[in-house]
A and B are shown apart, each in its own frame.
Chain A
Amino acid sequence: MSGINITELDKVYDSGTENVVAVESLSVDIDHGEFLVLVGPSGCGKSTTLRCLAGLEDATAGTIRFDGEDVTEYRASERDVAMVFQNYALYPHMTVRGNIGFGLKLSTKLTGDEIEAKVEDVAEMLGIRELLDEKPKALSGGQQQRVALGRAIVREPSVFLMDEPLSNLDAKLRSEMRTELQELQADLDVTTVYVTHDQTEAMAMGDRIAVMDGGVLQQVGSPEEVYRSPVNRFVADFIGSPSINLLTADVEDGTLAGPGGFAYELDGSEPVDGHERVSVGVRPEDIEVVESGRNAADVTVVEPMGNENFLYMEIGGHELTARVSPTVRPAEGSQVAFDFDEAALYLFDVETGDALKTKTDSVDSAVVGTTQN
């Protein structure tokens, strides 16, 4: 087990004619046994960061430390890390037994019997013992996934790296494996860095989430922190499903005036002082449909989810999404009035996207209790 310190990591690809910056001065400290999720849209540099941690890519600048030891120049095999790949990368010509034992055979001095015992233990733990003599081709996606995990676990590395390991599974299996992976990680207590583009997965699994965009780390924090107090518009937009409603509004005497006659009077205007225009953000679950109110929108689509309804509405050409109780079911094409608490409001600088105000509504402390370690 070890903590990870990444300091000012740069990764630049030299394509001959131009330099492509994949990761730019990324610094983050990851605690012992922590489950950190790197999340962001494709091309944001999250996989590159992971590959730098693995030693599969050389860092252009910066240092990577495992447990205080500088491993930046170490090769992958010297770093005591194990990686689970998106497509599992199982050796097709070896049995499950051979796949799981391969790393031990090469990098340890264990005898054949000792390796065998370890492989059996891990297979038992993952429930794939009866598959040990099969070739990967004969396994289902979920089983292959388990073998890939087993291959990582059996080496008892100090760090697990996972590159979208669940993205090739179907939805049901994915959520099952999600839970299983979390339990496994908690049991083994191994520092884990997990890359995904799926913010739901990130929210569900991470002790902390690191949101990246354009090679730059935007924010690191607990899922609630990132959700409730995003540092900028990108993070607010990326985290949350369905995503946050964003519109641009003019500031007039402490009142926000947006498209389609949208108007919202602020009690406290400090966040917007000195701004003529701001980006306004409201989470879909914070929008309430009311009898009558100042703002109204046209309902375009109603999606009943069973336990809740999604309302897709339009105001001045802008789309708004609301998550409401299943009893609220306005007719499509009708106009409804809506409102929200000022405490639930997000405000961002129009140009820089920096957060001016985030959620200030109180949350039951039991819900916020984030720390698992």
Chain B
Amino acid sequence: MRDQRRKDAVWRFLTYAFVITMVVVMMVPLYWMLVAATLPQEQFLQFPPRLIPGTAFLDNFAALQERLDFVRTIRNSVFIAVVYTLLSLVLCSMGGFAFAKYEFKYKEPIFYTILATLVLPIQLLVIPLFLLMAQLDWTNTFRAIILPWAANPIGIFLMRQNMKSIPDALLESARMDGATEFQIFYRIALPTMRSSLAALAIILFLFQWDLFLYPLVILESADMYTIPIGLAQLTGFQRIYYDQIMVAATLAIVPMVVLFLVLQKQFVSGILAGSLKE
């Protein structure tokens, strides 16, 4: 009895120790980024490092803005990610709905072909895509960044899996009520998929937000840069502008945090969708 209790206590201690360690491991770089963004470059490099926030955030930001017009860079990234996410949500949910709920010729082969494209890494696609965009004369445009990834195989797969859980009777009922196939899709299927859509929105937004190599190849002028490319420009040949990088990185995570907080409730239930009997 007593042994058991001691064992439980030890086990609990180890669990907490592990959790706290993981939290520290994850939070320290984040905290350091926030602090460093408020320090002038000299203090950033001193040892032992200063761990209390300083007052140089606005100065650092002003320097960053002067070098790069970072506000415009954020605006570019937000625009690309938002348009991409909305467009891709529409395409992926329509594709997923078709694969989940309709019968058509070669349905399975088409679906598995789409799925198979997942094994192709972006690095492999960058050059052929660049050549294609060059032929279309689309280089240095946002549409060249958005369109190639719009029909996202992960998104189609995710929506297909979740839409399979919609009872056929629900769709048939709407059909009997006089709904067209498109009305069935957007008035019945989509509203029941809200949490899956929220989860997918975060995945898609994050994918586009983090995209680096491909925009680096496509976008040529500084006024078109997205955040990851802007960040890369701060690493000069003679000097690395740590203070500005930290300010930029801090600002770069803000939209992600906002998006996640807004969609958090739906995101969690979307991830759990189908795992519990309702």
Interface of A with B (CB < 8 Å)? 54-56, 75-77, 81-83, 85-87, 89, 91-93, 102-103, 106-107, 151, 155
Asked if B177 and A106 make an inter-chain contact with CB atoms under 8 angstroms apart, the answer reads yes
* Residue from B169, B176, B194 in contact with A76 in the complex, judged by beta carbons closer than 8 Å: B176
Chain B contacts of A83 at CB under 8 A? 172-173, 176
> Is B172 in contact with A107, judged by CB distance below 8 angstroms?
no
Q: Are B178 and A89 in contact (CB under 8 A)?
A: no
Known: A56-B172, A86-B169. A93 touches B177 (CB 8 A): no
- Neighbouring B residues of A76 by C-beta, 8 Å: 172, 175-176
**Within residues 172 to 194 of chain B, which ones have a CB less than 8 A from any CB in chain A?**
172-179, 183, 188, 191-192, 194
B148 located at the interface, meaning its Cβ lies under 8 Å from any Cβ of chain A in the complex: no
Instruction: Please tell me if the beta carbons of B179 and A89 are within 8 angstroms of each other in the complex.
Output: no
B175 and A56 within 8 A (CB)? yes
Interface core residue of B172, B177, B183, B191 (most chain A CB under 10 Å): B177
Give min CB distance, B129 to chain A, whole Å.
Answer: 38
Q: Can you report 15 A-B residue pairs in the complex whose CB atoms are below 8 A from each other?
A: A56-B175, A56-B176, A76-B175, A77-B177, A77-B178, A86-B169, A91-B188, A92-B170, A93-B192, A102-B177, A103-B176, A106-B183, A107-B178, A151-B177, A155-B177
Q: For the complex, what is the distance from the CA of A165 to the CA of B177, rounded to whole Å?
A: 17
Q: In the complex, what residues of A have CB within 8 A of residue B183's CB?
A: 106
Closest to B179 in A: A106
Q: Which residues of A contact B194 (CB under 8 A)?
A: 93
Q: Are B176 and A81 in contact (CB under 8 A)?
A: yes
B203 CB, min distance to chain A CBs, angstroms: 23
> Using Cβ atoms and an 8 Å threshold, which residues of chain B touch A102?
174, 177, 179
C-alpha spacing A121/B168, complex, angstroms: 29
Provide the bound-state CA to CA distance between A91 and B194, in Å.
Answer: 14
Which chain B positions have C-beta within 8 A of A55? 176
List B contacts of A77 (CB < 8 A). Answer: 175-179
Q: Are A89 and B177 in contact (CB under 8 A)?
A: no
Cβ-based interface call for B167 (8 A): yes
> A91 and B176: CB pair below 8 A?
no
| Contact flag A85-B178 (CB < 8 Å), given A91-B188, A106-B183 | no
Known contacts A85-B169, A86-B169, A106-B183; decide if A91 and B175 are in contact (CB<8 Å). Answer: no
Residues of B bordering A, CB below 8 Å: 167, 169-170, 172-179, 183, 188, 191-192, 194
Contact call A93/B191, Cβ cutoff below 8 A: yes
Chain A residue nearest to B177 (CB atoms) is A103
Q: Which residue of A lies closest to B172 (CB)?
A: A56
Closest CB of chain B to A206's CB: distance in Å? 23
Residues on B with beta carbons closer than 8 Å to the beta carbon of A81? 176
A102 and B173 alpha carbons, distance in the complex (Å): 10
- Counting chain A CB atoms within 10 Å of each CB, the highest count among B176, B177, B192, B194 belongs to B176
Q: What is the distance, in angstroms, from B266's C-beta to the closest C-beta of chain A?
A: 13
CB A322 to nearest CB in B, in angstroms, measures 42
Cβ of A151: which chain B residues have Cβ within 8 Å of it? 173, 177
Minimal beta-carbon separation of B197 from chain A (angstroms): 12
A106-B169 contact given A91-B188, A92-B192, A93-B191, CB 8 Å threshold: no
Of all chain A residues, the one with the shortest Cβ separation from B183 is A106
Smallest CB separation, B176 vs chain A (Å)? 5
**Chain B minimum-CB-distance residue to A85:** B169
Nearest chain A CB to B93 CB, angstrom units: 15
A81 to B175, CA, bound (A): 11
Please name 11 further chain A to chain B contacts, defined as beta carbons within 8 Å, in addition to the given A77-B179, A83-B172, A103-B176, sorted by A numbering: A82-B176, A83-B173, A85-B172, A86-B169, A89-B172, A91-B170, A91-B191, A93-B194, A102-B179, A103-B177, A106-B179
What are the residues of chain B within 8 A of A89 when measuring CB–CB? 167, 169-170, 172-173
CA distance A85 to B174 in the complex (A): 12
Q: In the complex, which residue of chain A has the Cβ closest to the Cβ of B190?
A: A93
| Least distance between A305 CB and chain B CB atoms (Å) | 36
With A92-B192, A93-B191, A106-B183: A87-B169 Cβ-Cβ less than 8 Å: yes
A151 to B176, CA, bound (A): 11
Interface centre among A75, A83, A86, A89 (most CB of B within 10 A): A89
**Inside 8 A of B175's CB, which chain A residues have their CB?**
56, 75-77
| Bound Cα distance from A118 to B169, whole angstroms | 24
A82 and chain B: residue at smallest CB distance: B176
A106-B170 contact in complex given A91-B188, A92-B192, A93-B192, C-beta closer than 8 Å: no
Residues of B within 8 A of A92 (CB): 170, 192
**Among the listed B167, B178, B191, which residue makes an inter-chain contact with A106, where contact means beta carbons less than 8 Å apart?**
B178
For the complex, give the distance between the alpha carbons of A121 and B191 in Å.
Answer: 27
Nearest-CB residue, chain A, relative to B175: A76
With both chains docked as a complex, state the minimum distance between the C-beta of B219 and any C-beta of chain A, in angstroms. 41
Residues of B contacting A91 in the complex (Cβ-Cβ under 8 angstroms): 170, 173-174, 188, 191-192
Using CB atoms, name the residue of chain B closest to A152: B176
CA distance A187 to B248 in the complex (A): 73
Known contacts A93-B191, A93-B192; A87 and B172 CB within 8 A of each other: no
Question: Distance in Å from the Cβ of B67 to the closest Cβ of chain A?
Answer: 49
CA distance A75 to B180 in the complex (A): 11
A81 nearest in chain B by CB position: B176
State in angstroms the CA–CA spacing of A75 and B170 once bound together. Answer: 17
CB closest chain-B residue, reference A84: B173
A83 to B174, CA, bound (A): 10
Contact B177 A107 (CB under 8 A): yes
Alpha-carbon distance between A240 and B123 when the two chains are bound, in angstroms: 72
Q: How far is the CA of A85 from the CA of B179 in the complex (A)?
A: 17
Docked pose: A91 CA to B179 CA in angstroms: 13
Residues of A within 8 A of B192 (CB): 91-93
Q: How far in angstroms is the closest Cβ of chain B from A106?
A: 4
With A87-B167, A89-B170, A91-B188: A54-B178 Cβ-Cβ less than 8 Å: no
